[in-house]
Amino acid sequence: MPSTIRTTALPSGEAVQVLGQGTWKMGEDSRRRVQEVNALKLGLDLGMTLIDTAEMYAGGGAEEVVAEAIAGRRDEVFLVSKVLPSNASRAGVRRACESSLERLATDRIDLYLLHWPGSVPLGETVEAFEALKKAGKIRHWGVSNFDTEDMEDLVGLREGANVQTNQVLYNLVRRGLEFDLAPWSRQRGIPLMAYSPVEQGALAHNARLETIATRHNVTAAQIALAWVIARDGVIAIPKASSQEHVRQNFAALDIRLTEEDFADLDRAFPPPTRKRGLEMI
C-alpha cells in the first residue's frame, strides 16, 4: 500500500489528492445504501479522503450517503459538492449551500463548485461564493464543465481568479480538452478534476487497454485510471459502489506506466490536433 497518495496543489496552495472518490448515481436506490456507504468508508480507510458529490445527484441522496460514510470522520475528509446553475443566484447559492450542508451533516464544504455554466450572470455566482467563504460555509470554490472561453471570462471577473479547480469529463476517449483547456489550466496552476475517468466503465472492456494491462498484471480499467492520474495537474474522481471496486481503484496508484505504454495509448487513443467543444455527460 502506498504510504501516501500523491497530491497536487490548488491555486490557494492547499495540497489535494490526485485520486478521490466520486458519488454520481449513489443514493438512487435505498437497497444499495449500505453497500455504497461501506465503499466510501473503505476508501477513507485506505486514505482516499477526497470525496466528490453534488446536490443534483439523486436529488441530494448522494450527499446523504456521504454524510453517513463520513460520520465521526469529517476532519479527515476534503469534501467537494456542487450547486446547480438554476440555483446560482446570490440568494439561490446561499439556500442551496445550506441545504447541502444539512444533508451532508457538516458545517462547511471544502470545495464548492458551479455544476455547469448557466443563465445567472457569472459575476453574481462568484459574489455568492465569496460571501459563503467569508461566512465560513465553504473554504474554496470552483467550477465544472467550463471550457477555455468560459474560464477566460471567469478569471476576468472581480474575484474570479479565486477559482480553485474545473471539474470536467476527461479520460482516454475524451481527450479534446488537451488541445487548449488543459495547457491553459496548467499555466495558471488550476487543477482539472476528471469525472468518469474510466468512461462510466466502458474502458474496462477495451481490448487495446487489455493488451497493456497484461504487461502490468492489472485490469484495463486500472490502466485507464492510472493514465488519468499520471497527467500533470489532474485529479481523478472515479465512483466505486463496491468495496472490491474501491480496492481496484486504489491499486491503480501503484501502476507505473512506461514510455512504451504512453506511446501505445497515444496510438490507440490519439490526442487532439484541433479545438473541440468541451464534452459533457
In a domain, residue 1? The reply is: no
State which residues form the domain around 38.
Answer: 16-268
Q: Which pLDDT belongs to residue 3?
A: 46
Q: What is the DSSP letter of 130?
A: H
Q: What is the DSSP letter of 143?
A: E
Q: Is there a contact between 83 and 97 (Cβ–Cβ < 8 Å)?
A: yes
In a domain, residue 213? The reply is: yes
Count of CB atoms situated within 10 Å of the CB of 136: 9
Q: Which pLDDT belongs to residue 254?
A: 96
Q: Which pLDDT belongs to residue 175?
A: 98
Count of CB atoms situated within 10 Å of the CB of 125: 26
Give the Å distances, CA to CA, from 45 to 52, 76, 113. 16, 10, 26
In a domain, residue 275? The reply is: no
In a domain, residue 278? The reply is: no
Q: Which pLDDT belongs to residue 193?
A: 98
Over the chain (281 residues), what is each successive 10-residue block's mean pLDDT?
A: 79 98 97 97 98 98 98 98 98 98 98 98 98 98 98 97 98 98 98 97 95 97 98 97 96 97 98 94 86
Q: Which pLDDT belongs to residue 1?
A: 44
Q: How far apart are CA 21 and CA 255, in angstroms?
A: 18
In a domain, residue 279? The reply is: no
In a domain, residue 11? The reply is: no
In a domain, residue 281? The reply is: no
In a domain, residue 8? The reply is: no
Burial string for 164-198 (b: 16+ CB within 10 Å, else e) reads: bbbbbbbbbbbbbbebbbbebbeeeebbbbbbbbb
Q: How far apart are CA 46 and CA 1, in angstroms?
A: 8
Q: How far apart are CA 138 and CA 95, in angstroms?
A: 13
What's the domain count of the chain? 1
CATH number for the domain harbouring residue 209: 3.20.20.100
Amino acid, single-letter form, for residue 78: F
Burial of 277: CB neighbours in 10 Å, binned 0-12, 13-18, 19+:
exposed
Q: How far apart are CA 249 and CA 226, in angstroms?
A: 9
